[in-house]
Amino acid sequence: MSETSFPVAETKQALEEGAELSPRFDANGLVAAIAVDAATGEILMLAWMNALALKLTLETGEAHYWSRSRGELWHKGATSGQVQKVAEVRVDCDQDAVLLKVRPQGDGGACHTGRRSCFYRVVEDGQLVVRP
């Protein structure tokens, strides 16, 4: 395994039931990553990880993501102070999504708008309404 690659599961059984982390990155080399507050279960954000972001997250215990809009690696909170300390990493059944249970640092915000969660709007009658 190179420094940024993960093994490929040889069988469906190995992928779904095996002990080896074998994330299935999409055609762009990315996997969806959902961050939730480890204490409350609140969904904080959805982001993307490439192999290096996942590797750094596992090695450092702090969330790293891939910014699709900037085309670069992103250490969550490096400039804002909103670091996400990782309490647990899970993968879904076919390893194409990652769930990070995190302990938010700073003031606890996760969204670039300054809010705690990126999911601050609800759809009501076809319109977006801000809700806590």
Residue 4 belongs to a domain: no
Per-residue pLDDT at 5 = 85
- Its pTM stands at 0.91
The tally of domains found in the chain comes to: 1
User: The domain containing residue 117 runs over which residues?
Assistant: 12-130
Q: Give Cβ neighbours of residue 43 (< 8 Å, ≥ 6 apart).
A: 34, 35, 36, 117, 119
Residue 2 belongs to a domain: no
The CATH number given to whatever domain includes residue 84 is 3.10.20.810
Residue 3 belongs to a domain: no
- Provide the percentage of residues in the chain whose pLDDT is more than 70: 97
66-110, pLDDT tens digit by residue? 999 999 999 999 989 999 999 999 999 999 999 999 999 998 889
CA angle 88, 92, 93 (to 5 degrees): 135
Cα 111 to Cα 132: distance, rounded to the nearest angstrom: 13
Residue 7 belongs to a domain: no
Per-residue pLDDT at 2 = 46
Residue 5 belongs to a domain: no
| pLDDT bracket for residue 39 (50, 70, 90) | very high
